[in-house]
A and B are shown apart, each in its own frame.
Chain A
Amino acid sequence: MKLLIGFLFLTQMAFAQMATVPTEWIESSSYSEASRKSFGLNQGRDEITSLQKGYQNLIGHKSGMLEKLSGDEEKKWYLQSIKTELGIEAKGGLGIMGAGGEAALELIWIRKKNGAKSFVSFNNEIDDQGTEAIQISSEMSPEALKAEIEPIVDLALKTSKIKKRAFLFKNLFNRALEFQKTIAELENAPSMGPWYAYKYQMELGVSVEGHITPFLEVGNALRLRMEWWKLKKKEVPLMLTQPTQNLSPNAKFVSAIAQDLSFIDQNYFQNGFQLNCMKVGVGTSVKGNLVIAKAQANAKGSIFFLRHEEDVLNQKLFPLPFDGYSLQSKDQSTIEVGRHQFRQAIRKSSNILSFFARHAPEDEGDKKYELNVIEAEFELFTNGGIGLVTVEGNAGLTLFATRNVII
Chain B
Amino acid sequence: MKYFFLLIPMALITACQPNGGENSIPVVGLNQNGKSQVQFVDPNFLGQKLTPLLTNISDKVSSSLDAHETLESQPWELSRVTVGLKLETEFEVIEDVLEVENEGDIELRFQKR
Residues of A within 8 A of B (CB): 1-16, 18-19, 57-58, 61-62, 64-65, 68-70, 72, 75-85, 87-90, 93-101, 103, 124-125, 128-130, 132, 390-392
Q: Within the assembled complex, what's the spacing in Å between the Cα atoms of A89 and B28?
A: 6
How many chain B residues touch A (CB < 8 A): the figure is 79
**Residue from A5, A88, A124 in contact with B28 in the complex, judged by beta carbons closer than 8 Å:** A88
- Residues of A near B110 (CB, < 8 A) are 77-80
- Residues of A near B49 (CB, < 8 A) are 7, 9
Q: Are A78 and B22 in contact (CB under 8 A)?
A: no
- Residues of A near B96 (CB, < 8 A) are 4
- Residues of B near A9 (CB, < 8 A) are 14-15, 42, 44-45, 49
Residues of B within 8 A of A (CB): 2-3, 6-17, 19-30, 34-47, 49-51, 53-66, 80-82, 86-90, 93, 95-96, 102-103, 105-113
Determine the residue in chain B with the shortest Cβ distance to A87: B28
- Residues of B near A101 (CB, < 8 A) are 28-30, 36
Interface of B is mostly: mixed
Nearest chain A CB to B100 CB, angstrom units:
11
**Count of A-B contacts judged by CB separation below 8 Å:** 220
- Residues of B near A7 (CB, < 8 A) are 12-15, 45, 49
Q: Within the assembled complex, what's the spacing in Å between the Cα atoms of A88 and B47?
A: 23
Interface of A is mostly: loop
- Would A392 and B34 be within 8 Å (CB), given that A97-B28, A129-B80 are in contact? yes
**Residue from B29, B58, B62 in contact with A87 in the complex, judged by beta carbons closer than 8 Å:** B29
**Residue from A69, A76, A103 in contact with B54 in the complex, judged by beta carbons closer than 8 Å:** A69
- Residues of A near B11 (CB, < 8 A) are 4-6
Determine the residue in chain B with the shortest Cβ distance to A86: B28
- Residues of B near A124 (CB, < 8 A) are 80
**Residue from A78, A90, A95, A390 in contact with B62 in the complex, judged by beta carbons closer than 8 Å:** A78
- Residues of B near A128 (CB, < 8 A) are 102-103
Q: Are A70 and B36 in contact (CB under 8 A)?
A: no
Nearest chain A CB to B54 CB, angstrom units:
6
Q: Are B42 and A5 in contact (CB under 8 A)?
A: no
Nearest chain A CB to B59 CB, angstrom units:
7
- Residues of A near B54 (CB, < 8 A) are 65, 69
Determine the residue in chain B with the shortest Cβ distance to A91: B36
